[in-house]
Amino acid sequence: MINFTFQNSTKIIFGKDTESQVGQETRLYGKKVLLHYGGGSIKKYGLYNKVIASLKKANIGWVELGGVQPNPRLSLIRDGINMCKNLDIDFILAIGGGSVIDSAKAIAVGAKYDGDVWDFFMRKEEISDALPIGVLLTIPAAGSESSTGSVVTNDDGQLKKDIGSQLLLPKFAILNPEITFTLPSYQTAAGVTDMMAHIMERYFTNVTHVNLTDRLSEGALKTIIINAKRVFDQPNNYDARAELMWASTIAHNGLLDTGRIGDWASHMIEHELSGIYDIAHGAGLAIIFPAWMKYVYQHDVNRFAQFAVNVWDIPMNFSNPAETALLGIEKMENFFSSIGMPTTLSEVNIPEDRFDEMASKATFFGTLGNFVTLEKDDIRKIYELAK
């Protein structure tokens, strides 16, 4: 186990009807709020009206910026930054999933900076200040509601890059599983894949003796797998939705990082896909993660066998752990397929003509991965394996 510092101060407010608390929580930090959201779904299902009522009750003013797209765009973020600067906004309330929250985080940083916010994504500046933000979560997936990171796509050149800072940690996150009953099954499945990927990125590590975080990670993965099945049978099953929602936060709040070094190559390799082709991040991960696993599993067959046994209930073949490892990867792929995720690029009509370009972009800042270090050529081979 390696040394670590862990602190996550986000206040999680979890359960039925909790959205009614948004006004009183916001009031602790701000008087004039930027309400940031995506498409119209928050209005369709009555959530918007509840939020407005709660803000009014708490005597909070607001301006609105909707229209966040999946893979949030820098252009809208720049609009949000201008609004914050010109309208004396002191708090950002993100109502949505990972894209909305990541967009809100970028606005929060840009609102306290004189230059162009993209400077932070290009590592030209370090984050030293940000507006406080709060979250009302609608899609369990990205874990951004209690994480320090944000991933944004630059409209020019389709570069997808990230920033991270303790200053980006939301002050509170309100999670009502009932809000997720109406999520389309494809979005539910992409969310399930994303949260699983967040755990798996951390699971495959070269740090030895990480028993506690291994066991916690395996427990979270098993919870997600069984409850995903329940949710696909019964979209209004509160308890199953609740398990998924809380697991998505735990998957990415830093707890499962403690004492270890994660890999994160698959996320970066996927970002090039969803940066160019605009497929759901989770769907891209369902394609890339199995390919990455097949490419690297021989680096530590025993860890992949442990994953197969402890997460996927594959019986250990003690005379051939590699077989066990591969059966685990296969069962994971079958699981992704069973919830309607693609597991090959051809299923989502992504041709191979840009593999080389994507591999180049993925290595823009250097090699990828910690479990196995990947060069441009390795990444091209992983795209090939995912064909």
313: Cα separation from own chain's centroid: 26
Neighbours of 93 (CB within 10 A): 30
Binding segment for a copy of itself (CB under 8 A), chosen from 193-201, 252-260, 292-300, 371-379, is 252-260
124 CB burial (10 A radius; 0-12, 13-18, 19+): exposed
By CB under 8 A, tell whether 209 contacts a copy of itself.
Answer: yes
**Using the rule CB under 8 A, is 208 a contact of a copy of itself?**
yes
CB of 239 to a copy of itself, least distance (A): 4
When binding is defined by CB under 8 A, the residue of 56, 215, 299, 387 that contacts a copy of itself is 215
Nearer to a copy of itself, 106 or 200 (CB): 200
Q: Which of residues 100, 151, 255, 268 is near a copy of itself by CB under 8 A?
A: 255
Q: In this chain, which stretch among 39-47, 100-108, 254-262, 333-341 interacts with a copy of itself, using CB under 8 A?
A: 254-262
User: Element (H or E) spanning 218, and its range?
Assistant: helix 211-233
Torsion of CA 86, 148, 264, 387, to 10 degrees: -50
Number of residues engaging a copy of itself in binding (CB under 8 A): 42
Distances (CA, A) of 387 to 131, 326, 331, 353: 43, 18, 19, 11
24: contact with a copy of itself by CB under 8 A:
no
Of the candidate spans 70-78, 125-133, 246-254, 298-306, the one that interacts with a copy of itself by CB under 8 A turns out to be: 246-254
Instruction: For a copy of itself, give the closer residue by CB, 254 or 328.
Output: 254
DSSP assigned state of 171: S
The answer to whether 316 contacts a copy of itself (rule: CB under 8 A) is: no
Give the chain's end-to-end CA distance (angstroms, integer). 37
User: Strand 61-65 vs strand 91-96: parallel, antiparallel, or unpaired?
Assistant: unpaired
Cα–Cα distance, 93 to 75 (Å, whole number): 19
Burial of 27 per CB tally in 10 Å (0-12, 13-18, 19+): middle
Q: Which is nearer to a copy of itself, 154 or 223 (CB)?
A: 223
**CB-nearer residue toward a copy of itself: 39 or 164:** 164
For a copy of itself, give the closer residue by CB, 1 or 87: 1
Using CB under 8 A as the binding rule, whether residue 355 contacts a copy of itself is answered as no
Q: Which amino acid makes up residue 105?
A: K
Instruction: Report the residue number, 12 or 305, with the smaller CB distance to a copy of itself.
Output: 12
**Hey, what are 360's tokens?**
């180049």
Q: Decide if residue 26 touches a copy of itself (CB under 8 A).
A: no
Tell which residue, 142, 175, 28, 143, has the closest CA to residue 91. 28
Characterise 74 by phi-psi region: left (phi > 0), alpha (psi -120 to 50), beta (else): alpha
Residue 194 interacts with a copy of itself (CB under 8 A)? no
Q: Is 12 in the site for a copy of itself (CB under 8 A)?
A: yes
Nearer to a copy of itself, 131 or 210 (CB): 210
In the complex, which residues of this chain contact a copy of itself (CB under 8 A)? 1-16, 18, 208-209, 211-212, 214-216, 218-220, 222-223, 226-227, 238-240, 242-243, 246-247, 250, 255, 258-259
